[in-house]
């Protein structure tokens, strides 16, 4: 069974970095693009970032470009999202999601974790 488990969320102070992590089980991430998608409280879904199977292709939403860094460790079957200088507008539940396509990047998601909540407040 495919499982994605996120961690690292919590209360974050504006300007202080934090790292979110996602550990996968039930499949090997080294064939898939992995993504982060977020959802502000009571709001809709927003794609944040994606990283290809070999880390050679990385993409970010304009709203987070330059502040967020996505990375992966295929050996540990894990993906990370570093949030630098968080803003109150970054408050959201952050979901780790698996791309549907093998090797290629389709930008849609057939498996999701339960998410980790990040609250940015001073």
Q: Residues 5, 47, 117, 119: which binds other proteins (CB under 8 A)?
A: 47
Is residue 94 a contact residue for other proteins (CB under 8 A)?
no
Q: Residues 28, 30, 107, 121: which binds other proteins (CB under 8 A)?
A: 107
* Structure tokens that stand for 117 in this block: 């909540």
Please tell me whether residue 38 adopts helix, strand or coil conformation: strand
Is residue 82 a contact residue for other proteins (CB under 8 A)?
no
Choose the stretch contacting other proteins; rule: CB under 8 A; options: 26-34, 55-63, 72-80, 82-90.
55-63
Distance of closest approach, residue 45 Cβ to other proteins, in angstroms: 4
Is residue 46 a contact residue for other proteins (CB under 8 A)?
yes
Is residue 19 a contact residue for other proteins (CB under 8 A)?
no
The answer for residues whose C-beta is within 8 angstroms of residue 25's C-beta and 6 or more apart is: 2, 3, 5, 77
Strand order in the sheet with 68-73: 3-7, 18-25, 78-83, 68-73
- Name the β-bridge partners of 18: 83
CA distances from 3 to 25, 71, 111 (A): 5, 19, 8
Which residues here bind other proteins, judged by CB under 8 A? Answer: 44-47, 59, 61-62, 95, 100, 106-110, 112-115
């Amino acid at each position: 069974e495919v499982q994605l488990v996120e961690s690292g969320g919590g209360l974050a102070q504006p300007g202080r970095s934090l790292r979110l992590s996602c550990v996968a089980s039930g499949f090997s991430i080294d064939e898939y693009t992995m993504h982060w998608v977020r959802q502000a409280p009571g709001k809709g879904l927003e794609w944040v970032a994606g990283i290809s199977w070999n880390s050679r292709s990385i993409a970010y939403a304009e709203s987070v470009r330059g502040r967020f860094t996505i990375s992966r460790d295929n050996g540990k079957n894990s993906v990370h999202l570093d949030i630098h200088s968080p803003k109150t507008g970054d408050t959201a539940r952050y979901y780790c999601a698996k791309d549907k396509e093998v090797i290629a990047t389709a930008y849609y998601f057939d498996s999701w974790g339960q998410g980790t909540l990040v609250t940015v407040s001073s």
